[in-house]
Structure 1
Amino acid sequence: MLATLEIVDLLDRAEGIGQIILQSDVMEEYQVAKKQLENDEEAQALIMKFTKIKEHYEDVQRFGRYHPDYNSIMKEVRSVKREMDMNEKVAVFKKKERELQKLLDEVSNQLAKSVSEQIKVPRDGMALMDSGCGCGTGGGCGCAAS
């Protein structure tokens, strides 16, 4: 019975931490940036354009340099991604997203260290990171365009 009460107490405390994060300035700024991004027609068009070219890019990646469109798709993906990233709403959203990730990383680190110094905690959102290229080399091929 004691273990059950301890678990309930831990769950309550975890819920409290979650609520603090949800009510933080960082989360509020992230939500505002997300809403602005979702409501910006130009940004959404750029995101859709990037998503479409990325699908083609992933098809080309299955064959690598042997695909006839390899060079052109690589250039086009980089160009479209740069165009999307240069959009003000996209840039602000990405900045706020990184700030929120930093907060979550700090909270995770504090929680882990309060339990034991031996607990390993991913930093900079590394648990969620991907090389971005989809080719399976971990970015070693230099194609990390997505």
Structure 2
Amino acid sequence: MTTQYTITELAREFDVTPRAIRFYEDQGLLAPSREGAGGLKRVFSGRDRTRLKLTLRGKRLGFTLSEIRTLLDLYESPTDTLPQLQAFLDTVVHHREILERQRADLDATLEDLAQYESQARVLLDKSADGEREAAESAPRSARAKT
């Protein structure tokens, strides 16, 4: 007997909303069968469960839904696994390059922010010193007038 899952079971298992699962279905990533009156009840197979698991993993890695769909379709094709592995490798390399660029941008931004923070602290310290000096000199001048 083939294991079947409801949308609620999958949503609970993978901590996603049923709406997200329906969205993935609309995007062609899942293909549940339909049961019940008017075919309103979705019934997900083990294949759908695996595709959902891989879709969510791909999303965590930053893959687009189009990339995920391509990889899933390659994974299920009966052809040689070398093109599948090459496609997967190409996608991983592409995303790694993007993340490396983003990290470099973040590092540069963090450096800029650290400099601005340092400059602001120096200005605040100078301002506080100036206020302290003004406060200390004010009572002296007030005493000198009396």
Asked whether the two chains share a fold, i.e. TM above 0.5, the reply is no
**Which structure is higher in RCO with an 8 Å CA cutoff and minimum separation 6?**
1
Instruction: Name the structure where helix makes up a greater proportion of residues.
Output: 2
Q: Report which of the two has the higher share of strand.
A: 2
Q: Structure 1 length as normaliser, TM-score?
A: 0.30
